[in-house]
Amino acid sequence: MKFIRIFQCLTVWLLAVTLFGQNDTGIEDDGLSPFEKAELRGLLELDFSDLSKTPIKSVLGYDLEHWKNPASVHVIRPDDITDFGFANSVEALRAVPGMHVSRGLAYDNFAAMRNFSGFTPQKFLGKIGGREVSQLMLGSANYSVDDYPVAVIDRIEIIRGPGASIWGTNAVNGVINLVTKHSSDTEGDSVRLLIQDNGTFMADYVHGAQISDDSYYRVWVRDQEYAEGTLESGLPARDDGYLRKAGFRYDTEIGSDLNFYIAGGGATRRLEHTLDLSNRLLYDLSSLTLAEQAGIKLALGLPPSTVLGPVPLTIAQSLPIGQPPSASYNPLTWATLSNGQVPYLFGLNTARFENYGELTNDSGHVVAKLDGITDSDLEWSVTGAIEHTEISLGHIGFDWDQTQYDLGIDANRPLGDFQRLSFGLAVRRTELDVTSKVIEPFAYSSLKNLSLLSSPANLFLQSSYSDSTPILSYNQEFTEIDRFTAYIQDSISLTDSVEVSIGTKFEENDLAGTGFQPGVRASWLANNSNVLWAGYSKAHRQPSLRERYTTLTPAKVWIPNPPLPGGGVWSNIKFEGDESLDREEIDAYEIGWRSRPDENLLIELSSYYYDTKNAVLASQTSVNAYEAKNAKSYGGELSIDWDVSHVWNLRGGYSLARGEIEGERSYDFPERTANLTSRFAYSDDLTFVQGLYYSGETQIPSDYNPITIPAHFRLDLGIVWEPKDGWEIGLFGRDLLEPYHIETMYPGIDVEPARVERTFLLSIYKKF
């Protein structure tokens, strides 16, 4: 807890400097506070036609000025993406305190918020273009596939901390909400081209026009080609492929206070991915006689106290012990998958086996929204969406189709001058079609599972064996999943400086059960330059379908038994999902401070403590693939936005994060991250940009070769030239401090991380 005390001391010091280092009012002769001046300046910098559409962020179910929100909120604008040469919105999250963005292969960036986030499931909620994006199978979303062209993005709201009382289940560590522009804001043509020196290429084209006085439309397309990268060892990563997308939006004003839009899109992605099989064809040394085990320990130089267990077959084949007959498995197939050596336990090396297969993603969606305001100032909206996704994991032999139907109603209205009530309800229906197949290396007969060894008679029964056990199979009883939610939030201004909001969300969910997710938030305007806020939330996360309803058979093991024909038997090693896994329940406590000493400087400080019950984690001892444990996480973030002058802006962020699982540290999220970005307008048409990012050490678990990702810095430099109004040409150097470093990989899937190499990028962007 030492760093928590440091963080608290820093908070007190900054508060003292800011609260008592100013006059009592903090108001200049014009009568405006620094918050209001900064807001007014932002309005004056907009075109007159945009003034009424200035977006205002909120976590309370209604529009509210950013600085008044009782939560840790960060906003990314389109310029934050293009000015720094980011290809998509996920990359831009690197500059958000409390977010950790890491790149695996060429086509994927992983985003995690705060800590205790895991590697596959995500513990924050994602909304893109008015719809919730998530795959129930893995408990995550693919933001690279769901991303939009920057020309149609209005803003990206990042709300750190639980938002369950409004957003519902899975809004645990926070919410990312990508908001797209009204079609009237995208009239004309926009083009963006990105060309990287390694051959990666992306092109966006957006066209919009006015149909009538109150109707507008736009269409857009994207083509993204991924160049092949390099693994840490220097081997080819085989991660080249493509992503192609298209979309549309139509907006119309039905009446003076009634608006409607419909939008949709589709995407197709074709790639190749590997499955690590290096520790998946095993030999059980513990089944040998004690004398044979003693000889093995001597041959391998292991201490006599070493407990032997299953080891890769290629290691066992170097030992003077009986071997499985070649006719009992597929040695020729395994030979074609061999690709050098990888480190193993006990200081040994083992053969590297990789099974490559096609990784495909085809998806399409339509979302429509009708909204208006009544004479009694009731603001309401009705939103409906249909989404269909087809995903194939060819390297594993697992495919699923997901069709999702959503319908939601949201509303808010003032109750007098000092109170506003927000409420809504929603229903969701998810339908799944899941199929599995056996990959060729495992297409041979073996015992269905190790439990059959308990009775010797089972070894002679044909029913005990199967040659069609897939790596991942799904319980077909759970292919239709329903969810109903309703929420209410009451925000009250107790005084001119104190506001309190209290609410809850009710949910009936086939995966998370029935429950309430209450929350309370309060803010205090200490003076015209400082806002203090605090919050408590109870949030739920539903286990993914993978965690509850799948059976994983990742390996086969040879059990030596001399009396049997062939001298032994092959058996599957199985791990079953746990249908009894309950929802994760998180008690979250937050406190924060937002200060604007003057209109050019904004400082934000936030801290949090999460107490999680039934956290779903990979099992270490159970026969189930996952088990529930208790976990804690705590930390905080500091961010600064400073206009040094009218031509120079600096933004910085620093975060501390620590997670513990039943008292033991979790290292899947860096304890410390930091960022510093700079924009310097050298002239009206020339801007220099810089981004410096730091990520602390993380650890990637493995059953045979755990990998530590070292702490690393990333330095990006760029120059943006505007040759004429509406055109930008940018040249960027990324990861300039070293030829390459590593950031992440899929544990249990990838053999090793890919290199994140120094690259140079040319950007050409025509705005509307």
- Look at residue 91 in the predicted model and tell me its pLDDT: 93
pLDDT band, residue 221 (cuts 50/70/90): very high
Measured CA to CA, the distance from residue 572 to residue 281 in angstroms comes to 10
- pLDDT at position 648 over 50: yes
* Model confidence pLDDT, tens digit, residues 675-696: 999 999 999 999 999 999 999 9
- Look at residue 80 in the predicted model and tell me its pLDDT: 95
- Look at residue 17 in the predicted model and tell me its pLDDT: 44
Mean pLDDT of 438-466: 92
Across 646-725, the runs of DSSP E, i.e. the strands, are 648-661, 664-666, 672-683, 686-695, 698-700, 707-709, 712-721
- Look at residue 37 in the predicted model and tell me its pLDDT: 57
- Look at residue 493 in the predicted model and tell me its pLDDT: 93
- Look at residue 172 in the predicted model and tell me its pLDDT: 76
* Model confidence pLDDT, tens digit, residues 697-708: 998 888 888 899
* Model confidence pLDDT, tens digit, residues 364-403: 999 999 999 999 999 999 999 999 999 999 999 999 999 9
**15-24, 368-377, 579-588, 635-644: which range is least confident on average?**
15-24
Asked whether 504 and 516 are in contact (CB, 8 A), the reply is: yes
- pLDDT at position 346 over 70: yes
- Look at residue 117 in the predicted model and tell me its pLDDT: 53
Highest mean pLDDT among 96-105, 563-572, 713-722: 713-722
Residue 448: closest CA among 521, 553, 321:
553
pLDDT band, residue 476 (cuts 50/70/90): very high
Measured CA to CA, the distance from residue 371 to residue 383 in angstroms comes to 8
Asked whether 546 and 139 are in contact (CB, 8 A), the reply is: yes
* Model confidence pLDDT, tens digit, residues 288-339: 999 999 999 998 889 999 999 999 999 999 999 999 999 999 999 999 999 9
Amino acid, single-letter form, for residue 134:
S
* 3 state SS for 16-77: HHHHHCCCCCCCCCCCCCHHHHHHHHHHHCCCHHHHHHCCCCCCCCCCCCHHHCCCEEEEEC
- Look at residue 337 in the predicted model and tell me its pLDDT: 96
Per the listing, tokens 């991303």 go with 147
Mean pLDDT of 605-620: 82
> Bigger pLDDT: 651 or 160?
651
- pLDDT at position 45 over 80: no
Per the listing, tokens 């995966």 go with 511
Q: First and final CA of the chain: distance in angstroms?
A: 51
Measured CA to CA, the distance from residue 286 to residue 659 in angstroms comes to 36
Mean pLDDT of 173-201: 94
Q: Report CA-CA distances (Å) from 726 to 685, 730, 766.
A: 11, 13, 6
- pLDDT at position 752 over 80: yes
Q: What secondary structure letter does DSSP report for 394?
A: T
> Bigger pLDDT: 496 or 579?
496
> Bigger pLDDT: 145 or 604?
604
Q: Where are the domains of the chain?
A: 2-277+356-439+476-551+575-766, 281-353+440-470
Residue 372: closest CA among 382, 362, 385:
382
> Bigger pLDDT: 582 or 82?
82
> Mean pLDDT, the chain, as a whole number?
88
Q: In 3-state terms, what secondary structure has residue 389?
A: strand
* 3 state SS for 556-588: EEEEECCCCHHHEEEEEEEEECCCCCCCEEEEE
- pLDDT at position 19 over 50: no
- Look at residue 170 in the predicted model and tell me its pLDDT: 75
Measured CA to CA, the distance from residue 104 to residue 488 in angstroms comes to 40
> What CATH superfamily classification does 2-277+356-439+476-551+575-766 receive?
TonB-dependent receptor, beta-barrel domain (2.40.170.20)
> Bigger pLDDT: 264 or 615?
264
pLDDT band, residue 253 (cuts 50/70/90): very high
pLDDT band, residue 719 (cuts 50/70/90): very high
